Chain A
Amino acid sequence: MAAKTTLRRIMRLFGISAKMDLAWLMRDTMYALAGITADMIGNLSVVSGVLLISVRFGGIGGMSADEVLFMMAYSTLITGLFIVFGASNNIHISRIIGRGQLEHFFIQPLSLKTQLITYGFCPFTGGGNLLVGLILLIIAIQRLGLTLSVGWILALSGHLLTTMVIIVARSYLASTLAFYAPVAAEEISSTVIEGTWLLSTFPLSGMPAALQVPLLTILPEGLMAWFPALSLLGKPPLGWSAAYPMLFALILTLITSYFFRKGLNYYVRKGSNRYVPYGFRR
């Protein structure tokens, strides 16, 4: 059996995950639909709060209600991508590490990277928010009278990819703590990503720069939806370059890579006595 990881093999791995996702949807439809509904309701409750405020107050900090809608659409698309590619705790990797489930990955003849990229792919059951996000985006584009071009669509794709990279890098950076304290840090990724999800839906327009800058640098919640949304509307905040998120993503990825490798080396030296099967291949 081949040990090499080719593009063909990666596509096959995505394929089998997608096939199993579809099989699960078709076989246990009620459960799958309930899951899709739960994901959609969960996300909509977060974005609807901000939307309702913007409607009630005629906008937020200089952003019109339609611009806020566009930002919420972007946020929902990100949620959709997160669920499609990360439904199996491969993004919330502190759960895998903390629960001692990493050993399941060690016995597979694939690199850890390849496994984590392909493992949580759920295009069918995870696509609910993606669909909702696309609908909101279309409505927002129509209301704003935006002209779509190939360049703009590429820019949208680039921003979405960059935001996802930032989310994954943040999660993995926080999750390195789980190598050293598996019980205490088991849910740290969830705390860091989902604990701040509400904050990432706040338009930061009108807030003092002393608040905006830290939220674009130290705690990059402003990069989750606000900055990319305004950049796509041709108004990158604070006069910064629209490419700033990409630079941030690159730096964060390098930092994360360093600490994650260190943590992994520590883990294979010290091992883990803890094992909890919950959430693994379930």
Chain B
Amino acid sequence: MSPMASAVNLQGVTKRFVQWQRDNTGKGMLKNLLKPEKKEITALLDVSFQVEKGEFVAYAGPNGAGKSTTMKLLSGMLLPDSGDIAVLGLCPQRQRRELMSRLGVLFGNRTELWWDHPVIQSYEWKKVVWDIPEAVYHQNLEMVTELLDLGGLLKTFSRELSLGQRMRADLGMLLLHSPELILLDEPTLGLDVVAKRQMISFLKKINRENGVTLIVTSHDMDDLEEMAQRILMISGGKIAYDGSFDGLRTMTGNLTRLTVATDNGFVPDLGNGGPVSSEKGVYEFEIDLAKTPIQELMRQLSRAQGVRDVEIKKAPIEQVIARLYQSWR
């Protein structure tokens, strides 16, 4: 893949931070005055990856893995200690202003809206600051108003918006300058189910129809699996996995949930140690298809007595990820 065709290109990027440590005892405080104790944290260690234009990538990892650090490096807010970064063919550190006119960044716990002004005022401010041509502004305004259902919110003061409404308004503001690449750090943080669904649907649409490249971080694995085609997992500052969600399942043993409903209280014996849960004749088993192939599973089920209903589905991705995180500790 040519670096010019890629939206993001990281090569050998390392980033370290220093954390101050402090004792709570009097002796410790005195010692700290003379010789402060510091701890070095490696946020990213020799990280390399590329994201093609038009991709929708999930960027996941346990707390403290380096996700937000990566986002800040890509947007030029931080300088790497070593390595090269190219975003849309530009160097974030040296060509920040040019990059910002083509990139959109949104952190979940922050807003770009003006608190004491209606949403539309913030949008007009953005039009001037980003120097967005009138025709482009109005076209994008129409699009985001429709797709994000902002019609009823445009004249509302930002401080009066609920979290979900604010996130939608922020997303709308983000898109006004037609960014080619969007970085979203925890965009579904704190949103209710409905708001989440709207956000996910919208992001998938702009990726599919407008070809916008998206990199999204989140702790909500189900959301990420629904949105993205590819997942980059970072742990301890290194890329631990780069591929599809199905590949991730295979890597962790292709966990499957099998639900069996039986008559007369029979407990099916599938030779894997028993069900993980049971309720009123419905038994749930956790099966590793890598160890127990599906054909063998079907044979065992056909021999079991009183089976009324069977449902097979993939284990929740949260469970898959949790196992991975535990194995990395």
**Residue-by-residue, is A61-97 near B (CB-CB < 8 Å gives 1, otherwise 0)?**
0000000000000000000000000000000000000
Q: How far is the CA of A220 from the CA of B110 in the complex (A)?
A: 39
**Total A residues in contact with B, Cβ cutoff 8 Å:** 29
- Nearest A residue (CB) for B99: A109
CA distance A106 to B93 in the complex (A): 10
Question: B residues within 8 A CB of A281?
Answer: 111-115
Give the chain B neighbours of A110 by CB distance below 8 A. Answer: 97, 129
Chain A positions 1-19 with a Cβ under 8 Å from a chain B Cβ: 1-3, 9, 12-13, 15-16
Among residues of A, the one whose C-beta sits closest to the C-beta of B125 is: A16
Report Cα–Cα, A28/B159, bound state, in Å.
13
Q: Which residues from A are CB-within-8-Å of B18?
A: 270
Q: Is the CB of B124 within 8 A of A16?
A: yes
Contact A1 B132, beta carbon cutoff 8 Å: yes
Q: Mark B88-106, 1 if CB is under 8 A from A, else 0.
A: 0000010011101101010
Is B116's CB within 8 Å of the partner chain A? yes
- In the assembled complex, which residues on chain B have CB atoms less than 8 Å from the CB atom of A271? 17, 69, 72, 77-78
Whether B117 pairs with A107 at a CB distance below 8 angstroms is: no
| Closest residue on chain B to residue A282 by CB atoms | B115
A106 touches B75 (CB 8 A): yes
Q: Say yes or no: is A24 at the interface (Cβ < 8 Å to chain B).
A: yes
**Residue numbers in A under 8 Å from B105 (CB-CB):** 107
A149 lies within 8 A of chain B by Cβ: no
Q: List A contacts of B77 (CB < 8 A).
A: 103, 106-107, 268, 271
A20 within 8 Å of B (CB atoms)? yes
Q: How far is the CB of B55 from chain A (nearest CB, A)?
A: 21
Give the distance in Å from the alpha carbon of A170 to the alpha carbon of B101 in the complex. 32
Across the interface, do B79 and A23 meet the contact criterion of CB distance under 8 Å?
Answer: no
As a 0/1 sequence over residues 163 to 183 of chain B, the CB contacts with chain A under 8 angstroms (1 = contact) are: 000000000000001000000
Which chain A residues (217-235) contact chain B, with CB distance < 8 Å?
none
Cβ–Cβ contact B98 & A277, under 8 A: no
Q: Once the chains bind, are B17 and A106 in contact (CB under 8 Å)?
A: no
Q: Report if A268-B79 is in contact (Cβ < 8 Å); known contacts: A3-B98, A277-B110.
A: yes
Which has the most chain B C-beta neighbours within 10 Å: A13, A15, A28, A110?
Answer: A110
Are B130 and A109 in contact (CB-based, < 8 A)?
yes
Q: Which of A1, A12, A277 contacts B177 (CB 8 A)?
A: A1
A85 to chain B, nearest CB (A): 18
Contact B131 A28 (CB under 8 A): no
Q: Does A104 belong to the interface (CB within 8 Å)?
A: yes
Cβ–Cβ contact B97 & A111, under 8 A: yes
* Cβ-based interface call for A56 (8 A): no
Q: How many pairs, one residue from A and one from B, have CB atoms within 8 Å of each other in the complex?
A: 86
Contact of B130 among A1, A27, A103, A277 (CB under 8 A): A1
The residue on A at minimum CB distance from B98 is A3
- In this complex, the interface size class of chain B, counting residues with CB under 8 Å from chain A, is 35 or more
The answer to whether B121 has its CB under 8 Å from any CB of chain A is yes
Name the prevailing secondary structure of the B interface residues.
Answer: loop
B194 at the interface (CB under 8 A from A): no
- The answer to whether B131 and A2 have CB atoms under 8 Å apart is yes
Contact present for B100 and A282 (CB under 8 Å)? no
Q: Given A271-B78, A281-B113, verify A12-B128 contact (CB < 8 Å).
A: yes
Say if the beta carbon of B210 comes within 8 Å of chain A.
Answer: no
Q: Which of B93, B101, B124 contacts A1 (CB 8 A)?
A: B101
Residues of B within 8 A of A23 (CB): 117, 121
* Neighbouring A residues of B117 by C-beta, 8 Å: 20, 23-24, 27
A275 with B110, Cβ < 8 A, contacts A3-B98, A106-B96, A268-B79 known: yes
How many whole Å from A122's CB to the nearest CB in chain B?
Answer: 12
Q: How many Å lie between the Cα of A12 and that of B124 in the bound state? A: 12
Question: Which residue of the partner chain, among A28, A109, A270, contacts B17 with CB atoms under 8 Å?
Answer: A270
| A24 near B97: Cβ-Cβ < 8 Å | no
Chain B residues near A16: list those with CB within 8 A: 124-125, 128-129
Q: Are A104 and B112 in contact (CB under 8 A)?
A: yes
CA distance A23 to B121 in the complex (A): 9
B115 touches A109 (CB 8 A): no
B263 to chain A, nearest CB (A): 58
- Which residue of chain A has the shortest Cβ distance to B18 in the bound complex? A270
Q: Is B292 an interface residue (CB 8 A)?
A: no
Known: A106-B75, A107-B105. A277 touches B17 (CB 8 A): no
At the interface, yes or no: A108 with Cβ under 8 Å from chain B?
yes
> Which of chain A's residues 162-182 have a Cβ closer than 8 Å to chain B?
none
Q: Which residues of A contact B93 (CB under 8 A)?
A: 268
**Nearest CB of chain B from residue A261's CB, rounded to whole Å:** 14
Known: A2-B131, A271-B78. 15 other contacts (CB 8 A): A1-B130, A3-B98, A12-B128, A16-B129, A20-B125, A28-B116, A104-B110, A106-B96, A107-B77, A107-B103, A109-B97, A109-B101, A109-B130, A268-B93, A281-B112
| Ranked 9 nearest A-B pairs via Cβ | A109-B101, A282-B115, A109-B100, A16-B128, A1-B101, A281-B114, A271-B78, A106-B77, A109-B97
